[in-house]
Structure 1
Amino acid sequence: MDNVVDARIESLMNSDPSPAATAEPLLAVEGLTIDLTGDVAQPGLISDVSFTVARGESVALIGESGCGKTMTAMAILGLLPRGFVVSAGQIRVEGRDLLTSGRRGLRETRGRTIGAVFQEPMSSLNPTMRVGDQIAEARRLHLGESRRTALVRAVELLDRVGIADAGRRVRSYPHELSGGMQQRVMIASAIACDPSIVLADEPTTALDVTIQAEILELLRELRTEQGIAVLLVTHDLGVVADFCDRVVAMYAGTVVERAGVDELFASPAHPYTRALLDAVPQTSDPRTILPIIRGRVPAAGAFPTGCRFEPRCVHGGDERCHAPQRETSMVGRRSVRCARAADGESVAVPAVV
């Protein structure tokens, strides 16, 4: 991963600013707050989350399990579980606020403007429908195509995502395909209507390393050839370094740092981001003892009153950490939610256990 990061930093230093960095955002999430309602009401499970994705750009949401990455993605798609509600903020896609669009507006946006690729394709694909019909369904719904025309396009899409003998596979059921082929079907379905952005939630987690590389290369080709933006939810920082332009680090339902991938890997500003990076195994020295992040992500409804990371932070105990943390803008498009970082103090290396 070190070689990948070094190459990206050198490339950034020798190139002009990306057009994506100056264009109007395709996706803009501003101040997103999600509450759990009902008998066990818990406000602020997701609190004040803001980030943007430009056209053709790839942005990663990173963080441990339970930090709110998938919940944020589901809110963008309007697919929050029962009992969870967006209590504040905006989610704009191509300038349209999805939170005020109603069900009809969401149906028009999902699949047409926003495609989605989920972690477990077998649980996302309909086991009773042939994969060709599942891909064609989006084109019939959003583009008004006939079943015949949509199936012809489904064959082309299966061929585009690298499935051999697409004309025969279009008639297969999901259980007749391997995990890698199922994920390719999901990608084909996600791009069936030429969306502007694809939300990919851990799209390679259930796949072996070789298939992971093929899926990521496919997504890279789609970005290059069709200009599709990607919001990638992942735990794999190697994938982030290789595939993404910018990173949004989340912890306990809040954004703790936003930065370009190169600057974040080179000099993380938040203690949590630094701890995540230091916990990545380094192949250059197999005898290295990995630093760890002590403790675990706090349970929903049990967040500290100040910095949510303070109990696990190597700088824990600082009086500034006991007050609510504000997201502070730094040089360029970078921001951090840490009082110490806002005061210009450096991040310590996590302890080795």
Structure 2
Amino acid sequence: MKILKWLSFLTIILTLFACHDDNDSNVVTQHYVHKYGFDMSKNEWQNRTKEGTVTSLLDSGITVTNNYNNGDLHGLTTYSFPNSSILEKIYDYDNGTIIKETHQDEAGIPYREKTYEPDNKTQITLWDKTGVPISQEQYESNALVNGKYFKPNNELEAAIEDNTGTRIKRDRNGELLYRDTIKNGKLKARNTYHSNGQLKSSMSFKNYQLHGEQTNYSEKGAVVLNQTFNNGKLNGMKAVYRNNNKISEVLYNNGLRQGLERHFKEDGSLLAQVHWENDKKHGSERIFHDNDTHIKWYYKGKPVSIKRFEEFSFREKLIADKTSFYDMIDKMDTTQALQE
């Protein structure tokens, strides 16, 4: 119950902040009604135990209604759409503990409902624009335990049982967005889809971080990106494609560019290449033109002349305190660093 109390408090705070930040809202008027039906002034309300209903009109046009019992939120707390009697958000409390929250569209049709249960359990239901369920999910301590996923005709499409199975996400129009593989309540792999149904991307996860190969595809099914992650960080070759031709490739090590980066024309000829070390340009950067090659040199990210690059590379091998040496180069005047 302590967890639910904390969630209730957090929900109130986040909702109030959302109203203030998104709508720049301030209270225009407030109306206080005791639970026995008589009106109260603001001072009377504040000087007594809260028992009844407070209705607030914000300058954004949103009407907020809070119900209280013995000083705690109890019953429904609601937020309308701006300048409308239709409710956008509905929170249901039991003596200060949130038990359910519902979100509705501008037609008043619910599209998301979250029910809070003891022992940090929750149930989430989503609906499409016609009120047909999209999905029903059960969570325990934020881990997905059971789920049912439906096609627009309400036919069961996929399911998760005992923390393992397939989760399918569709938008409210029935369009397929992604398909997840869930194991032990955690996301292991995801395929996303274009609006025409073609595969858009495939990726795998470890502890909710990208881990392993990721490939992105065009609407026609051609590969446009291929890269590999290790615990959320790029690791290995990242390659970009256009019209089935590789147009760039760069090596990564633990999230940092390391090694040779190359760019290509669509006919496969080399357009540019640059050397990287710990995500800083280090060595030559070459831009290839039809009749010549434009070359720049860098040392640990600092633009230098080839003479300086060779000098610094030699001195680096002889110096014990390399950190001070790198700082000296980084602070060096650009004109001096480019001196031939």
TM class by shorter-chain length? under 0.3
Taking structure 2 as the reference length, the TM-score comes to: 0.24
Taking structure 1 as the reference length, the TM-score comes to: 0.24
Structure holding more helix per residue: 1
